[in-house]
Amino acid sequence: MRTLWKGAISFGLVHIPVRVYPATENKGVKFRYLHRECKTPVRYLKYCPTCGREVGPEEIVNGYEYQKGRFVVLEDEDFERLPAPETKVVDIVDFVDLAEIDPIYFDKSYYLAPADGGVKAYALLRRAMVETGRVAIARAVLRAKQHLAAVRVLEGRVLVMETMFWPDEIRSWAGLEGVDAEPTFHENELRMAETLIGSLTGPFMPSKYTDEHRQALRELIQAKVEGREIYEHREPEAVKVLDLMEALRASVEMARSHRAGGPPGTT
Amino acid sequence: MCGRPEAPERAGKALHHPGALEFGKVRPMLAEAAPAPFDGDDWLFEVKWDGYRALAFLERGADAGRGGDGGGRTRLQSRRLRDLTPGFPDLGRLHSHLEGRQAVVDGEIVALRDGRPDFQTLQRGGRPVVYIAFDILELDGEVLIGRPLAERRDILDRRLGAGPDLVVSRAVLGRGTDFYRAVVRSGLEGVVAKRLDSPYRPGRRSRDWLKVRNVRRLFAVVCGYTRAAGARPFGSLVLGLADRRGRLVYAGLVGTGLDQREMASLLGLLDRTGPCPFPDGEPRSLRGRVEWVEPVHVVEVECLELTADGHLRHPVYRGLRPDKDVADCQVPAERHGGAG
């Protein structure tokens, strides 16, 4: 598995070096858009309607739309001037019971594995968390963004970090129509529903559930491949020459902006 | 070169069809060599494409522009006025990308591998070949060669489309040095600088067009080969370059990039052995190890740079260049951009 990043868990005075791996993956079937006529993957152009032309990557800046149609522009230097959050540290601040955290807070899951020199401290933290039955609440930095996270022990072996939404990112359900209504129903209706629940109750077995739609889609795709209903696309050489010329131009542009922004004397 | 100017001006504004410039009579404008890259606001810089220079005479048929293409034709003419059309059937429909009835375009026929021109592939008749257009001499009967380059390029961009067989060359304004560095990094042949206000001078080698060759790519004369080592037909090629006084000097050995097949065919070519062709005599390091040949065959090599004593550093063989002669094998005047 590819390491996402290397960092450390900070726990009191202890620093535990860890590697971070993504714990889940999306297996949805991905499609690319083709031009129906020639079956060429379509290309997205970054087009400026004012100048009436395509714009290159070096011509694009970040704009924040603070009001509809009104922007402030943030350049690389602006981002660099921001106070850098403590990078690559999972900073444990509290311990709580897992059951106290509503699942609505959970966003993405990452495995944490001990990195060089961290094996003992990792095992110690894991053991202590198992014994106390607690999960840790931490602040973590992932891809330049600060996250709230829960760190817990999975299957008694591996630490998992669940990144969480910040409380103000959880939307309120107040005002959802019909939620607050208290209609009356017969005692028998309730009994019937409870009986039904009882008869469907059992242990959670994830393997019971599969994505039938995805499976059917994959079978359909496989049948088309086997039926040789296929279109091959090779980038025509002429397009590659255009790309080459574009790359040359971009590197001239980069050399220029580098010189403009960089220390004097750089060539 | 050929000093006699052709007389395309006589055509004036004649609107007869096909065009005013005659196929087989117009020599392309040529560039002078410049020793080093430079910057300049009144210059444009583009890639020096490694292929066959050719003028394309494009004519569209009667139903052109109405979705049809009946009756149109493309003819390709070489630098030396030869008809190249039959040799490049894949380029027979360049006229279909023209917006207009007729045009004469200047450009280069290149064979491509991974989006890069490959001269060896071109020589072997390999595919795909693409025409890279960089100038326009005539459009719909109007001769444009008196107009400044900036205007001609603008017309070219607007009137010539693109296709799998046709690319319009893109240029960079002003920043010749940065552009040259990018070209060297990409392993391309070199840069051509063109003055934006210059007219097109058929058949002239003009200071308005300057070429700066990638210093890492050189032509060298084969002066001999070291004797067989193991299973190889020979060891390495002994290369020579002409110094400023035109004297042939030893430039090093090249063995990398030569496969068995290429070596065998080279050996067949290098049959005229003779005395050591260097006026300075046999290099000491090679004494007794070399079969000397008549210095007539030119090869292209790529190297990191020239060492202080004028030898090629880490040269790699790129192929035989029968289109070049000893005059093309000069010691580079300056060692610019070497480490970039």
Task: Say if the Cβ atoms of A240 and B115 lie within 8 Å.
Answer: yes
CB contact burial A20-59 (16+ within 10 A = b; e otherwise)? bbebeeeeeeeeeeeeeeeeeeeeeeeeeeeeeeeeeeee
Chain A residues inside the 8 Å CB shell of B130: 237-238, 241
- The pTM score is 0.56
The fraction of chain B above a pLDDT of 70, given in percent, is 89
Q: A53-99: per-residue pLDDT in tens?
A: 888 777 888 899 998 889 999 887 887 777 665 557 899 999 999 99
Residue A103 pLDDT greater than 90, yes or no: yes
Residue B6 pLDDT greater than 50, yes or no: no
- Tell me which of B42 and B270 has the higher pLDDT: B42
Angle B318-B320-B325 (CA atoms, 0-180°, nearest 5)? 120
Chain B residues inside the 8 Å CB shell of A243: 115
Could you confirm whether B48 is annotated as catalytic?
A: yes
Task: Say if the Cβ atoms of A244 and B116 lie within 8 Å.
Answer: yes
- Evaluate whether B76 touches B200 at the Cβ level (below 8 Å): no
CATH topology for B21-213 is D-amino Acid Aminotransferase; Chain A, domain 1 (3.30.470)
Average pLDDT over residues B286-295: 88
Give residues 191 to 250 of A whose Cβ lies within 8 Å of B. 236-249
Beta-strand relationship, B217-226 and B290-292: antiparallel
User: What type of residue is A77?
Assistant: E
Q: B211-232: per-residue pLDDT in tens?
A: 998 878 889 999 999 987 677 8
- Tell me which of B42 and B235 has the higher pLDDT: B42
Task: Say if the Cβ atoms of B175 and A236 lie within 8 Å.
Answer: no
The whole-number pLDDT of residue B123 equals 81
- Tell whether B279 lies on the interface with A, counting CB pairs under 8 A: no
Average pLDDT over residues B69-80: 85
Minimum-distance CB partner of A238 among B164, B175, B185:
B164
Is residue B319 very low, low, confident or very high in pLDDT (cuts 50, 70, 90)?
confident
Residue B14 pLDDT greater than 50, yes or no: no
The whole-number pLDDT of residue B10 equals 42
**How far is B257 from B263, CA to CA, in rounded Å?**
10
Select from A241, A254, A257 the residue whose CB has the most chain B CBs within 10 Å, as the one to mutate to test that interface: A241
Most confident of A44-48, A82-86, A198-202, B327-331: A198-202
Instruction: Point out the catalytic residue in the list B13, B48, B194, B324.
Output: B48
**How far is B130 from A238, CA to CA, in rounded Å?**
7
The whole-number pLDDT of residue B289 equals 87
Average pLDDT over residues B101-108: 95
**How far is B322 from A198, CA to CA, in rounded Å?**
89
- The four Cα atoms A110, A113, A117, A120 give a dihedral, to 10 degrees, of 120
Q: Which numeric CATH code is attached to B217-328?
A: 2.40.50.140
Q: What are φ and ψ of residue B160, in 5° steps? A: -110, 120
- Tell me which of B7 and A237 has the higher pLDDT: A237
Which helix (H) or strand (E) segment holds residue B268: the answer is helix B260-269
**What contacts A67, CB < 8 A, 6 or more positions away?**
none
- Tell me which of B325 and B109 has the higher pLDDT: B109
The whole-number pLDDT of residue B265 equals 86
The whole-number pLDDT of residue A182 equals 87
The whole-number pLDDT of residue B229 equals 65
Is residue A7 very low, low, confident or very high in pLDDT (cuts 50, 70, 90)?
confident
Place of tokens 């091959």: A232
ipTM above 0.90? no
The whole-number pLDDT of residue A227 equals 84
- Tell me which of A45 and B236 has the higher pLDDT: B236
Residue B268 pLDDT greater than 50, yes or no: yes
The whole-number pLDDT of residue B267 equals 87
Lowest-pLDDT choice from A106-110, A199-203, B11-15, B123-127: B11-15
Tokens standing for B184? 């060297």
Chain B residues inside the 8 Å CB shell of A252: 172, 175, 178-179, 182
Is residue B5 very low, low, confident or very high in pLDDT (cuts 50, 70, 90)?
very low
Lowest-pLDDT choice from A1-5, A200-204, A240-244, B204-208: A1-5
The whole-number pLDDT of residue A86 equals 53
CATH topology for A5-26+88-168 is Ku70; Chain: A; Domain 2 (2.40.290)
Please choose, from the candidates B255, B257, B254, the residue with its C-alpha nearest in 3D space to the C-alpha of residue B312: B254
Domains B21-213 and B217-328 share a fold: no
Secondary structure of chain A as H, E, C letters:
CCCCEEEEEEECCEEEEEEEEECCCCCCCCCCCECCCCCCECCCCCEECCCCEECCHHHCCEEEEEECCEEEEECHHHHHHCCCCCCCEEEEEEEECHHHCCHHHEEEEEEEEECCCCHHHHHHHHHHHHHHCCEEEEEEEECCEEEEEEEEEECCCEEEEEEECCHHHCCCCCCCCCCCCCCCCCHHHHHHHHHHHHHHCCCCCHHHCCCHHHHHHHHHHHHHHHCCCCCCCCCCHHHHHHHHHHHHHHHHHHHHHHHHHCCCCCC
Tokens standing for A238? 């002429």
Most confident of A61-65, A175-179, B142-146: B142-146
Residue B13 pLDDT greater than 50, yes or no: no
Tokens standing for A237? 């050489």
Nearest Cα of chain A lies from the Cα of B254 at a distance, in angstroms, of 29
The whole-number pLDDT of residue A144 equals 64
Select from A252, A256, A259 the residue whose CB has the most chain B CBs within 10 Å, as the one to mutate to test that interface: A252
- Tell me which of A123 and A42 has the higher pLDDT: A123
Look up residue B127 and give its DSSP letter: S
Name the residue ranges covered by the structural domains of chain B. 21-213, 217-328
